[in-house]
Structure 1
Amino acid sequence: MKISKTGFTNIIRCSRYAPLEEIYRKKRNALVTFSDNMDDLMTSENLAKTELLLSDMYDENDEDLIEKEDIQLNAMMPYYNAIEGLTANAVKGKFSGEFTFNMLDTYKQKKFEMEKNGYYFYCFLDGYLEEENHFRIFETKATTSRKYLDMKHEKESMFAFSPEGILMLTKDLGFSVDDKYEKKLDKLLDRFSDVGRYVYDLAFQRYVIEHSKDTPNKPGKYYLAVLNKDYVFDGTYDLNNQPVYQDNIIVFIDFTSITERYMPIIEADMNVVIDHLNTMNANPVPVGKHCQRKDRKQCQFYDICWSHVPAKNSILTYLNNHHGFTDTTGEKHDRYDLINEGVVNALDIDESWLTRENNIIQRRVIESEEPYYNYRKIREGIHELRYPIYHLDFESFPCPLPRYKGEVPYMQSLFQYSIHVERTPGVCDKERDHYGFLAKDHDDPREALIKGMIDVIKPDGGSVLVYNIAFEKTRINELARLFPAYKERLLDIADRLFDLMDIVKGNTKLYKNLGYDEEEAKKINYYHTDLNGSYSIKKVLPLFSNLTYKGMPIGNGSEALVTYSLFPKMDPKTFERNYRDLKNYCKQDTWAMVEILNELRKTAGIR
């Protein structure tokens, strides 16, 4: 049996992944067991349990229930592939030697394979450079250097650039370190952390290379190739109007020393993987962080293993549940440990364990099924609004590679806005008081978007109402920096932003400024059992309005950005239909805010 890097990182999750994968791929021909005895493979009980799992993987028409298309990932794939090409160019520009690289065909990349206990582990390399005295391995990741430069010790980054322009741990550059520094390195050795997951992939490659019969008889260097967080696109395009990037868009991070520390970890993990493959036991296992819940690497069998946890009002519904729960003796209990002990419903936890006031409010709402309102705080929040109110929403394209002059990697390129103008309380017409902008192609729309927006949002002191303020505030400040001619007007708009969520959910800083003490300011303003712990506008809207996104051709942000990404490939008729649908989607977002605010006024007794 051959195991790839991806297969290895999945199987090491838990003992159940490999047998579930076997059932998923081979269905009723799968050779898995539900006991400690592999001789039980073909018992009637074993087959019945396999059938039960298959019913969660395929419906009655044999349609796949596991594989879910990630439309946003598909839209971004051309950019992710382009990053590999940029890495190759950067390697050739910085190093000399024989370089093996193939962006289009994985099977033409350099491959290493090793055997252990009858299993073959292999890896294809994004880049392999062989020089006279050593070789270099490059693993391309579609992330930026920020997450590593942001690793701090004593307020200083734990990484710095070498004289050759390679990002390295300061320890490897000869800086003095202490025990606290060493302790913080543990994050790089955690395969579930945001920085460790990438290094783990590189370490697996190193282990396979060093145990392969084709191992080069010379020392190796191991690098992650990531996007440079400080790279600013200068606006140069080729004859096909495609951006031309300089080699410094890629940063190489030398993880040779860390991958060496990983070797005994990979050795132990390899033995675990082999044990999982030898036993193929499909019985349930404890859930935990290895499931990578709500992560982009969430296990594909998550729904099967978590089926006993209710989708609504589980213990994960409690706000800040990641901090755990403290019992009357002062002992803290982790949420995953509680789930594995059978504590899955929100009401399963003793109320005395709820030490956060907001969790107590949630529990009482779930028990009574009566919504909670802090009418006074809602009223005072609404009274902070100034008219006319400009209800604003943006749509953006989170491109890994900068597309327009002045952008950096992963800058959210705005391509659309919707504005509803509410001139006096409750006076706003969905059609007559709506203003929108939507780019028709992928040419730079930013200045046109700015002009349209500042033409609608007058410098009159009216509140600019958004939902979840951080996104809009960041985007407007970026535009002010990139387009100084409009800086004053844009910064004025940024200063007038007001978050509708601060009225619905609450905001400690806002209510402390209004005279509330710390304890009262921290309390939520509103809770309903249907929120299920979330204050997203999609959760809040149905509780205040009959407005719905169901049935809309474009009904969420992912569908919006994917539709925009495909504009250049659409025929005129398809484009016209999608353009209209996209305008209606963004328009729905701002009208949703109008309706929520109106209902909040009525609920709080504001006439």
Structure 2
Amino acid sequence: MRISKTRFLDLLRCPRFYDYTQSVGDTIDPLDQDILEHLTGDAEDLETLTKAQEAVLNGLHERVEREASTWVRQRLGGHTIDLDTSGGQHHVERSVHGHVWTAELDILNPTDTGVHVIEVKASTTSELSKLDFKLNGVYHPVFVKNNHVHKLVEETAPYLETALQEKYLKARKNLFDRLHKVGRHVYDLAFQRFVYEGSIDYDSAKAHTYYLALLNKDYHHDGQETYDVVNGEHVISLIDLTTITEELQSVVAEDVRQVVDYIDQHDNRYQNLIKACQKGTPRACPYLTQCNPYLKVDYNVDELMGSSYKDTARFAHQESKPMIADLDEADRSKKPKWRMQYDAIVHDTIHVDQASLKAFLSHLEYPVYHLDFESFAAPLPRFKGEKPYQQHVFQVSLHIEREAGMCDNTLDHVEFLAEDHRDCRHDVVAFLLEHIDLSAGGTVLVWHKTFERERLKELALAIPKYASELQHIRDAVVDLKDGFLGKGALPILYKKALHGKYSIKFVLPAYTSITYEGMAINNGLLAATTYATYPVIDPAHFDHVLDAMRTYCKQDTWAMVTLLDVCRNLIEQNSTD
């Protein structure tokens, strides 16, 4: 059997994965997972992407690879074997245990002094920078940057004092966890090394260095066409992982042996829900519901608020209680929210915290500006001042409710939509300042305020002339979700139709008749990727696409108008009961 890196990592998940590939078929996802993680938190939205949108997203990764190749030639010298010079990645393979293991090297960089092997990831150094350890109140990094290359601190300061070294080694262990946000990239490179060093391409007489190429979180684009060094930072960071990947070779070899055992055993038994399933992420096992069919059934234990996959596995697999209704008194009493959910399902109770809901509504000042942004996070920044994956707002929807309950879906709605890929930040700011008037008070209502507040902060940094006005808008932001979820031990509002979740896609159908079904664009991922595909959209259909985007974003803010009405009506209903 020929086993690529992607297939190897999937087969390594659990003993049953191979059996599924034989009975159901191979479902290797071609999409770049790092890019997807910056675009969506809802794995199910991936199913809505078109082939054209998938192609555009994968094209973004190719641009990162090409930029990394340019930087490698500048920093390390020599020439590169990569997408530009060979038309693709450099293929290597080796035979072990009766199977052929294959890898595609993103960049191979032979120089006069040796060979550099570079694995390019469309991820940033953000998680890498979080790998640190604390001693006497001072944080120390696991990696230290020297001349644009990140190296292990042990390679730059090998004589660490004992106490410091112990804490360093503990933090360093994350690099060996293939499910860790940094460790998974390290493991990828270690597998590449395993295959490459057993291939006919490998020359053991030459010195080899192994790098990860990541996007630099500290880089700010200067607005030029090329990505030059700006304030000492380049858009690409190189991380020297030669030492770590050498240590990982025995681990990879053992994992290869494990995968061969899985293939030989052909195990078709159900597997418990484990971390390697990566449920709820773009990396989730495609056969997740095959092993865990209860996950497809409403009101299963995975819906328990504040629970982890370990809780789900314990209830469903170890104790044979896959449904919330199966929980006994001891189980449902462990958390107040679990008892509330149990009662909602078994007794059909509806939870309303009248006092908290009244308090929330009393703090709203009118007019209320129902605000929603749509944005796109490009791996390589496009405009001056932007960082890798900085969200660029391209669409704004605003419903203006001047008095409580007084808002018309059409007459009280204004919107902005960029119709090309030019920098539209000034246009977005002009739109906001024109339509949001807080001179006599008011509230800017959003759903999940962290997102909109961060975008307003970024706009203020990009256009400091209006920083004061944008900060005023930012200070007026209130999260409508707080009127439902609240911040206490129990939510303010709950009914079983929420399924333990408070994203607007669950709240809206639970309390209203508004639906996104049948809409050409019906989620944020689809809106962002549609914006990304502007240049390849058929001009004959472009206006239709823009109309679909406007309809979707308008629905988002009208949904908030409707949900605010729901809150007011619940107070009135309970007051007359």
Answer whether TM exceeds 0.5 for this pair. yes
2:506 is matched with 539
Check the 8 A contact 1:394/1:417 in 2, yes or no.
yes
Matched to 1:480, the amino acid is A
Q: Where does residue 2 of structure 1 map in the other structure?
A: 2
**Distance across 1 between alignment mates of 2:4 and 2:287:** 19
Aligned residue in 1 for 2:442: 462
C-alpha distance in structure 2 between counterparts of 1:452 and 1:69, whole Å: 30
TM-score of the aligned structures, taking structure 2 as reference length: 0.89
Mark the runs of 5 or more structure 1 residues left unpaired by the alignment.
28-64, 238-243, 325-333, 508-520
1:308 aligns to what SS in structure 2? helix
User: What SS does structure 2 have at the residue aligned with 1:100?
Assistant: coil
Contact 2:275–2:309 under 8 Å retained in 1: no
Shift of 1:536: 0.8
Shift of 1:295: 1.5
Give distance in 1, aligned partners of 2:401 and 2:47.
40
* Residue number in structure 2 paired with 1:119: 99
CA distance change for structure 1 residues 558 and 380 in 2, over 3 Å: closer, same or farther?
same
3-state SS, counterpart of residue 473 of structure 1: helix
What aligned pairs does 1:14-93 form with structure 2 within 5 A after superposition? Answer: 14-25=14-25, 68=47, 70-71=49-50, 73-93=54-74
Contact 2:368 2:443 in 1 (8 A): yes
TM-score computed with the length of structure 1 as normaliser = 0.85
- 1:309/1:345 contact within 8 Å kept: no
The equivalent residue for 2:213 is 225
Is the deviation greater in 438-447 or in 566-575? 566-575
The DSSP-based 3-state class of the residue aligned with 1:172 is helix
2:173 matches 1:192: no
Is structure 2 residue 355 aligned with structure 1 residue 355?
A: no
Counterparts of 2:153 and 2:284, CA distance in 1: 33
Corresponding position of 1:529: 496
RMSD: 2.2
User: Unaligned 5+ residue runs, structure 2?
Assistant: 28-43
Q: 1:246 aligns with which of 201, 221, 228?
A: 228
1:540-559 to structure 2, matched below 5 A, reads 540-559=507-526
Residues 260-296 of structure 1 deviation map (CA, whole Å, 9 limit, x = unaligned): 2212211110111111122223332223111111111
CA distance in 2, matches of 1:135, 1:199: 18
**Hey, what's the Cα distance between the residues in 1 that align with 2:329 and 2:86?**
57
When residues 84 and 473 of structure 1 are mapped into structure 2, their CA distance, relative to the original with a 3 A threshold, is: same
Q: Following TM superposition, by how much is the alpha carbon of 1:105 offset from its aligned partner in structure 2, in angstroms?
A: 6.5
Structure 1 residues 548-586: Cα deviation after superposition (integer angstroms, max 9, x where no partner): 111122111122122222223334441111111211111
Is 2:436 the counterpart of 1:436? no
Residues 109, 431 of structure 1: CA spacing in aligned structure 2 closer, same or farther, 3 A cutoff? closer
Question: For residue 427 of structure 2, what is the amino acid of its counterpart?
Answer: A
Percent identity among equivalent residues? 32
Query: Letter of the aligned partner of 1:450 in structure 2?
Result: V
Report the more deviating stretch, 79-88 or 539-548.
539-548
The residue identity in structure 2 corresponding to 1:474 is: E
Q: Which residue of 2 aligns with 1:262?
A: 248
Per-residue CA shift, 1:60-94, capped at 9, x if unaligned?
xxxxx9x9574464432221110000010000000
The answer to whether the 8 A contact 1:467-1:501 is kept is yes
CA distance in 1 between counterparts of 2:65 and 2:313 reads 37
Q: Is the CA contact (8 Å cut-off) linking 2:73 and 2:79 kept in structure 1?
A: no
Specify the code of the residue in structure 1 equivalent to 2:262: H
Name 2:156's counterpart in structure 1: 173
Which of 284, 294, 299 aligns to 2:270? It is 284
Given that residues 301 and 322 in structure 2 are in contact (C-alpha distance below 8 angstroms), is that contact kept between their aligned partners in structure 1? yes
Q: Distance in 2 between matches of 1:550 and 1:109?
A: 41
CA contact (8 A) 2:302 2:309 kept: no
Q: 1:491 to 1:104 in 2, by over 3 A?
A: farther
Deviations 1:76-116 (A, max 9, x none): 2221110000010000000123432225977x533332222
Go from structure 1 to structure 2 and tell me whether the alpha carbon gap of 1:569 and 1:73 turns closer, same or farther (over 3 Å shift): closer
Number of the residue aligned with 2:560: 593
User: What is the letter of the counterpart of residue 369 of structure 2?
Assistant: Y
Q: Which amino acid aligns with 2:444?
A: V
Would the aligned equivalents of 1:386 and 1:463 in 2 still touch at CA under 8 Å? yes
Moved more, 546-555 or 345-354: 345-354
- Give SS of 1:506's match: coil
- Counterparts in 2 of 1:278 and 1:388: CA distance versus 1, 3 Å: same
- Write the distance in 2 (CA, Å) between the matches of 1:15 and 1:426: 57
- Aligned 8 A contact 2:448 2:480 in 1: yes
Deviation string 1:451-498 (CA, Å, 9 cap, x unpaired) is 011111013320100000000000000101110111111000000000
TM-superposed deviation, 1:190: 1.0
Which amino acid letter does the alignment assign opposite residue 20 of structure 2? L
Q: How does 1:417-432 map to 2 (within 5 A)?
A: 417-432=396-411
Aligned pair count reads: 540
2:482 to 502, 505, 512: 502
